Structure 1
Amino acid sequence: MAGSLDGLVLSPVADQAPGQVGTRTRFVYHEQGGRIWAEYAGGDIVRGHLVGTREGDRLDFRYVQLKHDGTTSCGHCESTVVELPDGRVRLEETWEWESQPGSGTSVVEQLTAPEDRPATG
């Protein structure tokens, strides 16, 4: 099983459709006692939150986000936590919108370079 997600910063490896999470989006994960949550922003997303659970290398969570155009959306995601050969974490995700039509898959990976981390404050 891969280690804790607590404090990790992850980003998608590819852009999704316009108005969705993309390579400029940064997720800051937290984990405690089988519970996970994260804040995210960047690209078309002003602010997003996810909350859910972790059992082994499986995540199950709901997400909600606010876009720059003022619209909100929410959905459900199941992810598999994978440890990469270099020790970083990858999440292989299957997601589905609950507030609008659409579903798909995506991959987010842990960032390591300080310039890739979100600004604080």
Structure 2
Amino acid sequence: MGALETEDQPAPVSPLKPKKLKTSKDVHFSVLPDKYEPLEEERDEEEVMEDTKERLRRKEEKKRKKKIRYKKYRKNMGKALRFSWRCLIAGLQSLVPVYMGPMAAASSVVTTANTGPTAR
């Protein structure tokens, strides 16, 4: 109840630094016989073939997905290029009359001027 702590009551642990308890580790040793051979799992040829088949199947699946993805990409790019080409052609066709307008007016003036004096 005072400032002294008893052995029965542990010191309060601050929430920032939890108190670490010291423990010992149990280590087990054993003597191995002279002719000890570790167990190794033998892989059958069937398992090796299955692994190879599985690897090939995954590789083919990856190729197939990549092919489908590129096919979609080519299709979308083709659509975008065709639309862009059509817009370019439409824009050029709308510019032609504006560009050719002054030349057409000049040629009509020149032809009327040439026919006028010769008719007298």
- Name the TM-score class by shorter chain: under 0.3
TM-score normalized by structure 1? 0.14
Considering fraction of residues, name the structure with more helix: 2
TM-score normalized by structure 2? 0.14
Considering fraction of residues, name the structure with more strand: 1
